[in-house]
């Protein structure tokens, strides 16, 4: 069983980058184009870890976290937030919303995979 990653980002470029990097690293990758779709996809695919962008149409990243955590859809599934800012303030806010960790954008492959491993391990 591969570790299943749900990547939510409205940018096709970022989705492709995540997809390619993670598939190559041995993860199974599912993508969604915005928060709304992300939450729906989550319910359908039950991923092992969620990576979400913040700024997205329909539902933003905070909305994703609140929905997944608040509605008890995914109380324990790790959620990593993609953020262009690495300030303590943003980290605090992200964590306050219920995220597990964060990934700085732009990300390099190593830190991305390392971040996922720290929250989801690496099965398969």
Partner 1 sequence: MSSSIQDTFFEECEELLEAIDEGLTAIDDGNWDGETVNAVFRAVHSIKGGAGAFGLDKLVGFAHTFETVFDGLRSENQKLDGKLAQLLLRASDNLSDLVVEARGGKPADPETHGAVTNELQAYLEAEGLGEEVDLSDFQPMVLDLGFTDDQPSQASFLIRFRPHATLYDSGNEPLFLFQALAELGEIDVTLDESRLPKLESFDHEEAYLSWEIRLTTDKSEAVVDSVFEFVHGLCDLEISEEVAGSKEDPGLDTSVDASSVKDNSSEHTKQSSNTSTPNAKASAKPDAKAANSTLRVDLERVDRLINTVGELIINHSMLAQQIHNLDVDDLRAVENELEAFKSLAREIQECVMAIRAQPVKPLFQRMARIVREASAATGKVTRLVTEGDATEVDKTVIERLTDPMTHILRNAVDHGIEKPEARLAAGKSEDGEIRLTASHRSGSVSIEIRDDGAGLNREKIREIAVEKNLIPRDADLSDSEIDSLLFLPGFSTASEVSNLSGRGVGMDVVRNSVMALGGRITISSTPGAGTVFTIILPLTMAVMDGMVVSVADQTMVVPITSIIETIRATEGAVHCLGPKENMLSVRGSFVPIFDVAQVLGLRAESRDPLNAVFLLVETQMGGCGALAVDTIHDQRQVVIKSLDGVCGETAGVAAATILGDGKIAMILDPESILAEAPAAKALA
Count interface residues toward partner 1 (CB under 8 A).
52
Q: Residue 84: which residues within 8 A CB-CB, separation 6 or more? A: 104, 105
The answer to the question of residue 114 lying near partner 1 (CB under 8 A) is yes
Q: Is 13 exposed, middle or buried (0-12, 13-18, 19+ CB in 10 A)?
A: exposed
The answer to the question of residue 46 lying near partner 1 (CB under 8 A) is no
Q: Is 89 helix (H, G, I), strand (E, B) or coil?
A: helix
CB of 118 to partner 1, least distance (A): 5
CB of 91 to partner 1, least distance (A): 9
Q: Residue 48: which residues within 8 A CB-CB, separation 6 or more? A: 3, 4, 5, 77, 78, 120, 123
The answer to the question of residue 24 lying near partner 1 (CB under 8 A) is yes
Q: Which residues bind partner 1 (CB under 8 A)?
A: 10-17, 19-21, 23-25, 29, 31, 33, 55-57, 75-79, 84-87, 95, 98-102, 104-111, 113-115, 117-122
């Amino acid at each position: 069983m591969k570790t299943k990653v749900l990547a939510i980002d409205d940018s096709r470029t970022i989705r492709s980058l995540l997809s390619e990097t993670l598939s190559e690293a041995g993860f199974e990758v599912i993508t969604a184009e915005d928060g709304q779709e992300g939450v729906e996809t989550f319910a359908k695919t039950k991923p092992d870890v969620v990576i979400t962008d913040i700024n997205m149409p329909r539902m933003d990243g905070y909305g994703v976290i609140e929905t997944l955590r608040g509605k008890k859809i995914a109380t324990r599934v790790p959620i990593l937030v993609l953020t262009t800012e690495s300030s303590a303030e943003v980290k605090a806010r992200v964590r306050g919303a219920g995220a597990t960790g964060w990934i700085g954008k732009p990300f390099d492959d190593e830190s991305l995979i390392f971040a996922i491993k720290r929250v989801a391990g690496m099965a398969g």
